[in-house]
Each structure stands twice: as C-alpha cells, then as structure tokens.
Amino acid sequence: MPELTPDQHAVLREHATERPFSSPLNDEKRAGAFHCAGCGAVVYKSDTKYNSGSGWPSFWAPVEGAVGVTRDTSAGMVRTEVHCAACEGHLGHVFPDGPRPTGQRHCINGLALAFEPEE
C-alpha cells in the first residue's frame, strides 16, 4: 500500500473530511483515472467527473464494483458513506442530487484520491 500523509490517513482511515475547495483535484479536467490513495485501486474515471460547486471533486458514478457504501450517522444526520471496495478507505459521501444519468453526486475528498492522466 502507498505511504499516506497524515492528512490522507485522517481522511482514509479515520473518516475525516478535508476543507472544501482545498483540493487541486477539484479543478482537474484532463482525461484519466482517479485511484484510491490508500491502495491504488481505480475508483472513478474522468468522464464521470463534474463541477458540483460543492468544493469537493464530484462524480456521477464510480467504476463498477470499485466502491461500497455504508450508512453514516456520525454528523448528527443520516448520510451514505462511500468507501473503497478494495481497502475500505473512506472516500466521501454520495447524495441523490447529482446529474443524469444516475442522479447521484459522489462527493469525494481529494486527499483520498490520486489522479493518473491518460497517455
């Protein structure tokens, strides 16, 4: 597994959330793949990324089978947590207010991702 920075460890292993608009991946527009920073598994592709205005990298769908979801009540509300299916690292949350075709907004911490551009 890749060595994590303290901030990545806090997000992936302790379920922290990075500050909104703090990730350079929020503005990433190149074609490529977004990998889990915890294990390297491909979790999202650039063709599903969009600007949600939320301050975090957002996607309307993950790579099939790449993420799992769990019920999260940690913030005094019910949310759906998204985690890497391979290493179970916390990626972010999914909300039902995204664009077509899925209507989902996977609101993902940039610290939980590593971007690899297409060649």
Q: H/E element holding 93?
A: strand 90-95
- Compute the distance between CA of residue 40 and CA of residue 42 in angstroms, rounded to an integer: 6
- Band (pLDDT 50/70/90 cuts) for residue 119 is confident
* Distance spanning both ends of the chain, measured CA to CA: 24
pLDDT tens across 21-59, in order?
A: 999 999 999 999 999 999 999 999 999 999 999 999 999
pLDDT tens across 99-110, in order?
A: 999 999 999 999
Task: Provide the mean pLDDT of the chain.
Answer: 96
Catalytic residues: 107
105 beta partners: 95
pLDDT computed for residue 1 by the predictor:
65
Buried b (16+ CB within 10 A) or exposed e, 23-53: bebbebeeebbbbbbbbebbbbbbebbeebe
What is this structure's pTM?
0.95
Q: Determine the topology of domain 6-117 in CATH.
A: 2.170.150
